A = this chain, B = another copy of it.
Amino acid sequence: MATRVAINGFGTIGKRVADAVAAMPDMRVVGITKTRPTAEAWLAASRHFPLYGVAPEHVSALTDAGLQVEGTLSDLLQQADVVVDCSPGKKGAANVAAYEAAKVKAIFQGGEKHAVAGFSFNALVNYKQALGRSKARVVSCNTTGLIRTLFPLHKTFGIDHVHAVIVRRGADPSDSESGPINAIEPVLQLPSHHGPDVATVLEGLSIATMAVAVPTTLMHVHAIQVDLTRPPKGLDAVLDAWQHTPRVMLVRGDRGVVSTAQVMEQARDLGRQRSDLQEIALWEDGIALDGHKLYYYQAIHQESNVVPENIDCIRALHGKVKDQTESMRLTDKVLGLSTSTYP
C-alpha cells in the first residue's frame, strides 16, 4: 500500500514536494493545506490534490473563493502516515503538538531548528538512522549543498577544517517584493548559522561559514576551502570522489557554463519540472588543490535541492524501504535526475 503523505503548506517547497510525492510509485498525496486562495491554491486544485484549510477560518476563506475544501489540518492528519511540514520558516515548531496528537510521523524543513525533531536528515549520510523515527528535519538548501560535496571528501580524504563563504540569492524567482536591488549585504552575525547546521548531520566536522546576500534570484553560490587530512596527489582523485556521489553534477565553464545563469539554463534544457536543478552544480574547471588545501565553487538551487531528500526521508520514517541506495535510486530515477554510482 502506498505511503499516505500530507503536505502542510503549499508554497515554494510544498508544491514541489507534493508533485514529487505524486510521481513516486510508492506514495500518494492525501492532501495539502493552504490558508489563502492564492494562485497556488488553484494550482493544487488543478493538480487534483485534496485541499484543506489549516484552521476553520482558512476553510471559509478558501471556500468563499470558490475552491473545494475537504476540511482542516486535523482532518487531513487523520488520513496520513507522514506529514511533510512546509510551513514558512520557524513556523513549523508550533505544529509539533498537533502532529504528535494525531500520531503521524512528521518531517520538518531546514528553516526549523535541529531541536524541533532532534534529528537532522541527509539521505547520503544518515538514512539508516532515520528508519522508523517519528520525526526528522531535512536540513536547508545550503546545508544540504555543503553536505553533498563535503561528505565524499570527508570519507575519502578526511577533513581537518572547512571555510565556506555563501553568496546567497536575495529572493526566489517568484518573489517580486524582496531586495536588494543594488547592494551586497553581509550576514554580520558570525559565524553564520550554516556551519553549525552542517555539523548537525556531519557530526564533529570543523566548519566555519560567512555569508552575503546579493541581487539575484538564481541559486546560491558557495566558495569553499577545505583543509584535507590526507590530500591526494592530484585533482583526479577528488573529481572521482564527486563523480561517484549522487545528486552532484559537474559543470564546465569552458563549455559556456560560466555562471548560475547557464547552470539554470541547463536545467531548462534537461526538461526538468519547473526547470529545477535538484543536484548540486560543481564547477569541474574551478577547482584547485594546493598542498592540503582544496578550493572549489558550487551552486545550489534553493527552490528544489531538498526535494529528493524529503522523498527519501518519507521512506525512511515510514520504514518500508530499509536500504538507502534503493530509496535514493528510485527517487532520482522518477525525478529524472542524472544518475550516478550510489553508495
The reply to whether A261 and B216 form a contact with Cβ atoms under 8 Å apart is: no
How many chain A residues touch B (CB < 8 A): the figure is: 73
Taken residue by residue from 210 to 253, chain A's Cβ proximity to chain B (1 for < 8 Å, 0 otherwise) reads as: 11111111110101010000000000000000000000000001
- Tell me how far the C-beta of A328 lies from the nearest C-beta in chain B, rounded to whole angstroms: 23
Which of A135-143, A152-160, A180-188 lies at the interface?
Answer: A180-188
Chain B contacts for A43, CB-based, 8 A: 269
Count the copies.
4
Q: How many whole Å from A104's CB to the nearest CB in chain B?
A: 27
Pick the contact of A188: B219, B274, B286 (CB < 8 A): B286
B173 touches A265 (CB 8 A): yes
* A73-81, A108-116, A164-172 - the one binding chain B: A164-172
Query: Within the assembled complex, what's the spacing in Å between the Cα atoms of A265 and B274?
Result: 8
**Other A-B pairs, 19, CB within 8 Å; known A183-B260, A271-B273:** A43-B269, A163-B225, A165-B165, A165-B223, A167-B214, A169-B184, A173-B182, A176-B179, A180-B181, A180-B259, A181-B215, A181-B216, A184-B218, A186-B283, A188-B286, A189-B286, A211-B223, A217-B261, A274-B275
Which positions in A face B, CB cutoff 8 Å?
15, 37-40, 42-43, 163, 165, 167, 169-171, 173-186, 188-191, 208, 210-219, 221, 223, 225, 253, 255-262, 264-266, 268-269, 271, 273-275, 283, 285-288, 290, 293, 295, 297, 299
